[in-house]
Amino acid sequence: MLRYVQLILLVAGCSGNDPAPPSNKTMAFVNMEGGINHIYLMDIGNDGRGIHSSRLTSTSESEDYPSWSPDGSKIAFTRGKDGSGIYIINADGNGLQRLSPIPGYDVTPSWSPDGSKIIYTRVLDPITQNVMPRTEIRIMNLDGSDDHSILGGIGFSVEPRWSVKDKIVFMGFRNGFMNILTMNVDGSDSKQLTDSSNNGDPAWSIDGTKISFGSDREGGDKLNVFTMNADGSEIRQITHFDVPYESGDTSWSCDGVRIAFEWDINGKKQSDPNAYAEVWIVNADGTNPSSTGQRCSGVGCAPRWRPSK
């Protein structure tokens, strides 16, 4: 949940009809190789286990926060080169290109519902340990043009994600906690949905009516997955792990039936790169949590279901 605070200080929707259970589907995630995060793909078998895991990229720099295009043909992600930039790549590993200026520090991309734009966070201040940098949330076209800020100068805001209802959800440091907020696509009508605990890694349900997120609201260093309505009402606990087990960093399957998430052991609220972590799946009503058996990065596992074509 707090991985981008740790990193900086040290899904878009689905298209088409998908009535079948989300078995034998593809998922992107982040795994660590040689101490560096990279983007991987795997299929999810009929038994819910991860199969055919393979690395997508061949770069040597760190890679984080994969985000599928709505048609499932491309992935946007953050790459730690010349600072940190927003890149896109085809799902077959070809066509890598950088959208961000060089140098720069741009992170956490997400696609617009029509696949024509990218929303992301730009870090404005030099990176200094234990100092929360100022940020902007920005939108640009896929060729990098019309790059403009929609939210800036209001502390630390990161992980903007665009719903099919043209609302933006993001996490921001407000009143001493990481919290979840929403706003319009032009940056207006910002609303804080959570308070008095750390809440992060928000993800829209496919129909844009719910938000899943990780939270330590239970106290006692617990970190679990919750859902709420798009207006912040009806918060519901989905996972019920106790220390040292944690869960967070979610993504909805294309039929809205299941949620993928990062599960780890003693991950210090998913900020410890040395923690043991796996990709897990749970029904959206909280039943049947189970492991895919696929290990992933303890900081930014980021399991992301591929949209249906």
67/128: higher pLDDT: 67
For the stretch 196-220, pLDDT in tens is 899 999 999 999 999 999 999 999 9
- Specify the pLDDT at position 145: 92
How far is it, in rounded angstroms, from Cα 67 to Cα 117? Answer: 12
| 1 vs 89, more confident | 89
When mean pLDDT is compared across 61-70, 153-162, 284-293, the lowest value belongs to 153-162
Q: What is the mean pLDDT of residues 39-54?
A: 95
Rounded CA-CA distance 235/192 in Å is 14
CA dist., res. 197 & res. 58, Å (int): 39
Mean pLDDT of the chain: 91
pLDDT in the model for residue 177:
93
Please say whether the beta carbons of 303 and 249 come within 8 A: yes
Tell me 190's DSSP state.
-
Q: Which residue has the tokens 């992170």?
A: 107
Residue entry with tokens 């720099």: 61
pLDDT at 262 over 70: yes
Nearest CA-CA partner of 33 in 279, 273, 251: 273
Residue appearing with tokens 């609302």: 167
- Which tokens in the block code for residue 212? 């899943």
Single-letter residue type at 301: C
Tell me how far the alpha carbon of residue 213 is from its chain's centroid.
10
Q: Tell me the chain's radius of gyration from C-alpha atoms.
A: 17
**pLDDT at 124 > cutoff 60:** yes
Band of residue 1 on the pLDDT scale cut at 50, 70, 90: low
> In the predicted model, is pLDDT for residue 6 greater than 50?
no
Q: CA 96 → CA 59, 82, 101, 205, distances in Å? A: 10, 15, 15, 28
41: Cα within 13 Å, side-chain hemisphere: 18
- HEC secondary structure over 99-154: CCCCCEEEEEEEECCCCCEEEEEEECCCCCCCCCCCEEEEEEECCCCCCEEEEECC
252 alpha carbon, distance to own chain's centre: 11
Burial zone of 47 (CB within 10 Å; 0-12 exposed, 13-18 middle, 19+ buried): exposed
